[in-house]
Amino acid sequence: MINRARTDTPVVSLRGLRKQFLVGGALPWSPKRVVNAVDGVDLELREGEVVALVGQSGSGKTTVSRLILGLERPSSGEIWLDGQRWDSLSEAERRARRLPYQYVPQDAMGALDPQQTALEHVMETLTVLGGCAPADAEAKGMAMLRRLGLAERRDALPREMSGGEQRRVTLARVLALEPRLVVADEPTSGLDPDRRGSVLEDLIGNLPPKAACVLVTHDMSEARDWCHRVVVMLAGRVIEEVDLHAARPAHPYARVLFDPWSGPLPRGELASTGCPFRPDCPDAAGVAGGRCAAELPTLRPRGPEGSGAHRVACHAEGPRQAPSADPAQVGAS
């Protein structure tokens, strides 16, 4: 279980975030259509917190992560980093302020220069982005490689490294800058299961104490073991926010993600009206009035007294309230 202290100070605040893409068909003359990759996402990430973004491919989680850092421009909505409106800045203004907000790419090999050693990668980051003198950059770079178990691989080129070592070099470049926020897009993709935990331990265990982290992952065990909260996405929307150390997933889609034996994941087109998961949902038939087909569910608190610690967008899952007193006992008192 993750052991990082959190504060109430927000690092990331997303408000009504939307991103639309115009895509063409299979043929050059096919009509183009609008795809809502991100559709009204509200999310807050606090100091010290690690939040997992999970969902099937195409759910919008990678687009959200890129929007946070300004790698994509939103169609509408607001992005706030440390209390500053981020989406309204120009690229030149963001570039001047980007240093505390770092990205760990999914393709580690593609992110590394084939002609640079492990140490040279970290030194270049510290000198170009961090403004360090070469001597200081070498000392800091070696210290970071030592922390990640790469001291003996300082002179290795990317083609001479294993997949795990390549990942650690990309982590070393980011962590050496002592970031305020790290967005990690599938940082263990392609690794053997026994190596994934060690890479996440290197990432999360070496974050600055008040740094926040967004972990985009397909691995539900990573989300459960390494994150404070899990944000489940489907069709560009957040359908559940839950602390898996305190509660179980409630949305039928989230339940299937974390327990594949409980039902089928969407294999065809999602529903275009109402709840997108409705065609595969085992609970839709029990909702009165056909609401699942007619009305898109919104996030609502599920915890006692509407605490907001657990939110779910499902018509079959209303707010959980404290049980009322037994009428027989009230009358007997």
3-state secondary structure of 329: helix
Q: Tell me whether residue 105 is in a domain.
A: no
The answer to whether residues 87 and 124 belong to one domain is no
The answer to whether residues 48 and 92 belong to one domain is yes
Q: Specify whether the CB–CB gap between 165 and 198 falls below 8 A.
A: no
Band of pLDDT at residue 288, cut at 50, 70 and 90: confident
- Residue 1's pLDDT is 63
Q: What is the pLDDT of residues 257-282, one digit of tens each?
A: 998 887 778 877 899 899 999 998 98
Report whether pLDDT(222) > 50.
yes
3-state secondary structure of 47: coil
Domain total for the chain? 2
The answer to whether residues 10 and 90 belong to one domain is yes
Report whether pLDDT(320) > 60.
no
Specify the CATH number for the domain of residue 2: 3.40.50.300
Q: Is the dihedral of CA 288, 292, 298, 301 positive or negative?
A: positive
Q: Specify whether the CB–CB gap between 120 and 84 falls below 8 A.
A: no
The answer to whether residues 92 and 221 belong to one domain is yes
The answer to whether residues 94 and 23 belong to one domain is yes
The answer to whether residues 126 and 230 belong to one domain is no
Q: Tell me whether residue 56 is in a domain.
A: yes
Q: How far is CA 215 from the centre of its chain?
A: 4
Q: Tell me whether residue 305 is in a domain.
A: no
The answer to whether residues 81 and 227 belong to one domain is yes
The answer to whether residues 135 and 232 belong to one domain is no
- Residue 323's pLDDT is 38
Strands 50-54 and 229-234: parallel
Q: Tell me whether residue 271 is in a domain.
A: no
Provide CB contacts within 8 A for 75, sequence distance 6+.
Answer: 18, 19, 20
Q: Specify whether the CB–CB gap between 40 and 18 falls below 8 A.
A: yes
**Distance set, CA 63 to CA 19, 76, 258 (Å):** 8, 14, 22
Q: Specify whether the CB–CB gap between 233 and 201 falls below 8 A.
A: no
Q: Tell me whether residue 331 is in a domain.
A: no
Domain containing residue 125 = 110-178
The answer to whether residues 133 and 86 belong to one domain is no
Q: Tell me whether residue 293 is in a domain.
A: no
Of 49-58, 129-138, 156-165, 324-333, the range with the lowest mean pLDDT is 324-333
- Residue 61's pLDDT is 95
The answer to whether residues 58 and 186 belong to one domain is yes
The answer to whether residues 232 and 84 belong to one domain is yes
The answer to whether residues 166 and 215 belong to one domain is no
Q: Tell me whether residue 53 is in a domain.
A: yes
Considering only CA atoms, which of 79, 97, 96 is closest in space to residue 88? 79
Band of pLDDT at residue 318, cut at 50, 70 and 90: low
Question: In the 8-state DSSP scheme, what is residue 253?
Answer: H
Q: Tell me whether residue 295 is in a domain.
A: no
